[in-house]
């Protein structure tokens, strides 16, 4: 939309490099990218993606449909020119599977007078803009054409290169509240609302257990049945009590009644134990349940129904809605949970109330995609929560929270070291901010 004429090349180069950088956060080198009806070549050129291509029109012919399914669809300003946005988005479903993400770049109506000046001064060609629409308009068009907005971000306060000034405005100020109201570009991530092709899927429930000997048998007894081939994976990690012996005893006791896999983690931390458990999992849906039973196993069917019925693609528990049992969470832990939820809502452009709840659910397919590109954020999360949250946000997954009742422990002591781990969490927030928000 901006800088469509070649005589704006230096500014065009800077603008499209910025836009490509923001899109590259989501778009992986191993997945196919399709830009629909591009107005120029610049975005794909600076995206530099080995599997990127463009198509010029929709709808596709019948013999093209299967060949053209793609992981990412990029719309760079297209919707400003479409006479019928609803019909365009409906036809776009031809390119999509349930896992496809549609990246919609559109422009802030506050900049409309400046676009007219840019046209008058020759920095852009005369283009027949028909539509200036808001985020709520896009949400409504998506609803009508069977899409859902997963997240949205605001970018670029200065579309031309001015040494130091452009860097300060676009990297550090544009993402901040108030400043982002005046940004030029909106980037919305849409997911097609296509049904999951699951027929009564089964689950792999992973439990990381450290010094939890008194809870192991209760986990097995209370675990509800969800699919026909559910499995429970118990991973012991560096316990000082007889947790490992209890895990082996319970596996032998319930053999033939409950499919139990057991392992000892190779490293340290809950995240390492969960990754070990997920590596052993074979079912369609992966679940994490904390061994302390502060979240009831009986709540897991709520998570199961949410992911099976496509309410979300990453389901996160929230302990901060219902009243907690006395002594379930200490005061400073509660404050920390609320603060980190606010921080991650800002960073990931999706709403969170509780990022640290141990109960989390994701499909095995999406987890494998997430794990394939784990190196983007690094491997220093001992908890495992943020590895999954960051990775899900980068995949453009729809994240949904399910409120759960949080109970006090009935056995053992907490493994949480709130001060030292709190400082580590702050470090992770800052690291994520530079990888996700301030880029």
Q: What was the pLDDT predicted at 124?
A: 63
Are 41 and 88 contained in the same domain?
Answer: yes
Where a domain ends, among 153, 173, 192?
192
Does a structural domain hold residue 103?
Answer: yes
Are 369 and 299 members of one domain? yes
Question: H/E element holding 262?
Answer: strand 260-264
Write out the residue range of the structural domain in which residue 168 sits.
6-192
Weakest mean pLDDT among 133-147, 373-387, 424-438: 373-387
What is the mean pLDDT of the segment spanning 9-35? 89
* pLDDT, average across residues 78-106: 93
- What's the pLDDT band for 232 if we cut at 50, 70, 90? very high
User: Is 176 in the same domain as 207?
Assistant: no
Residue 117 has pLDDT above 80, yes or no: no
Q: What is the C-alpha separation between 411 and 214, in angstroms, rounded?
A: 6
**CATH number assigned to the domain comprising residue 408:** 3.90.550.10
Integer angstrom CA distances of residue 187 from 152, 313, 346, 351: 6, 20, 15, 17
Going by pLDDT thresholds of 50, 70 and 90, the confidence category of residue 14 is: very high
Between vectors from CA 334 to CA 333 and to CA 340, what angle results, nearest 5°?
Answer: 85
Residues 208 and 352 in one domain: yes
- Check residue 338 and give its pLDDT: 85
- Per the model's pLDDT, the better-predicted residue between 321 and 263 turns out to be 263
Q: What stretch of H or E contains 139?
A: helix 135-144
Phi, psi for 229 (deg, rounded to 5): -130, 40
Residue at a domain's end among 192, 226, 259: 192
**What is the arithmetic mean of pLDDT over 233-262?**
96
| pLDDT-based confidence at residue 409 (cuts at 50, 70, 90) | confident
pLDDT in tens, 46-91: 998 888 888 887 776 655 555 568 999 999 998 998 989 999 999 9
Does one domain contain both 187 and 207?
Answer: no
This prediction's pTM: 0.90
Domain shared by 210 and 176, yes or no: no
Per-residue pLDDT averaged across 225-251, rounded?
96
Single out the residue of 118, 187, 112 nearest to residue 155, CA to CA.
187
Considering the domain architecture, whether residues 407 and 261 belong to the same structural domain is answered as: yes
For residue 112, the model assigns a pLDDT of 86
Domain count within the chain: 2
Residue 1 lies in a domain: no
Give me the long-range contacts of 119-128 (CB less than 8 A, separation at least 24).
Answer: 122/5, 122/7, 122/8, 123/3, 123/5, 123/7, 123/8, 123/11, 124/1, 124/2, 124/3, 124/4, 124/5, 124/8, 125/4, 125/5, 127/1, 127/4, 127/39, 127/81, 128/81
Q: Contact, 291 vs 233, CB < 8 A?
A: no
Q: How many C-beta neighbours within 10 Å does residue 67 have?
A: 8
Residues 180 and 209 in one domain: no
CA dist 350 and 186 (Å) reads 15
* pLDDT the model gives residue 107: 93
DSSP 8-state symbol, 325: P
What percent of the chain has a predicted confidence (pLDDT) above 90?
59
Give the model's pLDDT for residue 336.
Answer: 75
Residue 125: the pLDDT is: 62
Asked whether residue 121 is domain-assigned, the answer is yes
Distance, CA of 202 to CA of 92 (rounded, Å): 32
Same domain for 170 and 234? no
Sheet holding 33-36, edge to edge: 52-55, 33-36, 72-76, 101-107, 185-192, 147-155
Domain C-terminal end among 192, 224, 251: 192
User: Is residue 128 very low, low, confident or very high in pLDDT (cuts 50, 70, 90)?
Assistant: low
pLDDT attached to residue 323: 84
Is there a single domain that holds both residue 264 and residue 408? yes
What is the per-residue pLDDT for 414?
Answer: 65
Is 197 part of a structural domain of the chain? no
Residue 112: partners with Cβ closer than 8 Å, 6 or more residues away: 132
The mean predicted confidence, pLDDT, of the chain is 88
Whether 198 maps to a domain, the answer reads no
Under a CB-based contact definition with an 8 Å cutoff, are residues 348 and 393 in contact?
yes
Query: With contact defined as beta carbons under 8 Å apart, do 328 and 406 qualify?
Result: yes
Phi, psi (degrees; rounded to nearest 5) at 418: -65, -35
278 shares its domain with 311: yes
* Rounded distance between C-alpha atoms, residue 230 and residue 282, angstroms: 9
pLDDT over 60 (residue 335):
yes
pLDDT at residue 318 above 60? yes
Is residue 20 in some structural domain? yes
Same domain, 259 and 361: yes
Within a domain: 53: yes
46 lies in some domain: yes
């Amino acid at each position: 939309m901006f800088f469509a004429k070649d005589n704006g090349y230096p500014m065009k180069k800077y603008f499209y490099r910025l836009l490509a950088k923001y899109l590259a956060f989501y778009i992986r080198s191993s997945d196919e990218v399709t830009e629909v009806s591009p107005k120029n070549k610049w975005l794909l050129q600076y995206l530099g993606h080995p599997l990127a291509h463009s198509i010029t029109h929709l709808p596709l012919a019948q013999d093209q449909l299967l060949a053209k399914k793609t992981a990412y669809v990029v719309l760079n300003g297209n919707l400003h020119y479409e006479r019928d946005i609803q019909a365009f988005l409906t036809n776009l479903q031809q390119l999509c599977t349930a896992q496809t993400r549609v990246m919609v770049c559109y422009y802030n109506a506050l900049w409309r007078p400046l676009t007219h000046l840019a046209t008058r001064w020759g920095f852009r060609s005369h283009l027949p803009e028909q539509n200036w629409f808001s985020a709520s308009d896009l949400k409504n068009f998506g609803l009508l054409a069977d899409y859902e907005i997963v997240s949205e971000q605001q970018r670029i306060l200065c579309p031309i290169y001015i040494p130091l000034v452009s860097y300060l405005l676009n990297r550090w100020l544009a993402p901040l509240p108030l400043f982002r109201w005046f940004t030029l570009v909106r980037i919305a991530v849409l997911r097609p609302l296509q049904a999951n092709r699951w027929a009564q899927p089964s689950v792999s429930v992973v439990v990381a257990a450290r010094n939890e000997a008194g809870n192991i048998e209760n986990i097995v007894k209370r675990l509800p049945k969800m699919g026909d081939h559910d499995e429970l994976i118990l991973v012991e990690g560096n316990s000082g009590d007889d947790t490992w012996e209890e895990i082996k005893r319970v596996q032998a006791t319930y053999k033939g009644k409950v499919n139990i896999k057991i392992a000892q983690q190779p490293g340290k931390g809950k995240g390492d134990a969960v990754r070990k458990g997920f590596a052993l999992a074979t079912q369609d849906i992966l679940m994490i349940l904390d061994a302390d039973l502060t979240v009831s196993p009986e709540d897991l069917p709520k998570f199961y129904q949410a992911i099976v019925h496509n309410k979300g693609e990453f389901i996160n528990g929230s302990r901060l809605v219902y009243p907690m049992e006395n002594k379930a969470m200490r005061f400073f832990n509660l404050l920390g949970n609320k603060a980190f939820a606010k921080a991650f809502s800002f960073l990931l452009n999706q709403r969170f109330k509780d990022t640290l709840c141990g109960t989390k659910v994701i499909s095995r397919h999406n987890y494998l995609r997430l794990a394939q590109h784990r190196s983007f954020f690094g491997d220093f999360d001992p908890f495992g929560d943020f590895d999954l949250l960051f990775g899900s946000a980068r995949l453009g997954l729809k994240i949904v929270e399910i409120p759960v009742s949080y109970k006090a422990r009935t056995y053992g002591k907490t493994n949480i070291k709130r001060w030292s781990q709190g400082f580590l969490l702050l470090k992770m927030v800052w690291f994520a901010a530079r990888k996700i928000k301030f880029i």
